[in-house]
Amino acid sequence: MSSQTHVQQEAAATGGWLRNPLDNRLRAGWRILAFLAIFYSIALPALFGLRALLGLSKSSPLVIVIIALAATPAVYIARRWIDKKDFVSLGLKSGRHGAADVLFGFVLSGIMMGAVFGAMLALGYISNVEVIELGWPTAGLLVTSLLIMALVSFWEELVFRGYILQNMAEGMGMKTAVLISCVLYGLVHSANPNAGLLSTAIIILFGYLRIYGYLSTGQLWLSMGMHAGWNFFQATVFGFAASGHTEGRTLLTHDALAPDWLSGGDFGPEASVVTIPVVLIALVAMRGWSMTSVRRRSVVSRD
Distance from C-alpha of 132 to C-alpha of 255, rounded to nearest angstrom: 15
Mean pLDDT in residue range 176-201 = 95
- Cα separation values, 18 from 7, 81, 86, 151, 172, Å: 17, 16, 22, 34, 15
- Residue 15: predicted pLDDT: 54
Q: pTM for the complete prediction? A: 0.88
| pLDDT-based confidence at residue 266 (cuts at 50, 70, 90) | very high
**For the chain, where are the E strands, in sequence order?**
19-20, 25-26, 126-131, 252-256
Nearest one of 246, 34, 262 to 127, comparing CA atoms: 262
Average of per-residue pLDDT across 178-194: 94
The DSSP 8-state label assigned to residue 133 in this structure reads: P
Mean pLDDT of 19-42: 91
Q: Which residues lie closer than 8 Å to 79 by C-beta, 6 or more apart?
A: 85, 86, 87, 89, 90, 163
Instruction: Identify the three-state secondary structure at position 3.
Output: helix
pLDDT score at 14: 47
pLDDT tens-digit map of 64-115:
888 898 999 999 999 999 999 999 999 999 888 899 999 999 999 999 999 9
Q: How confident is the model at residue 7 (pLDDT cuts 50, 70, 90)?
A: very low
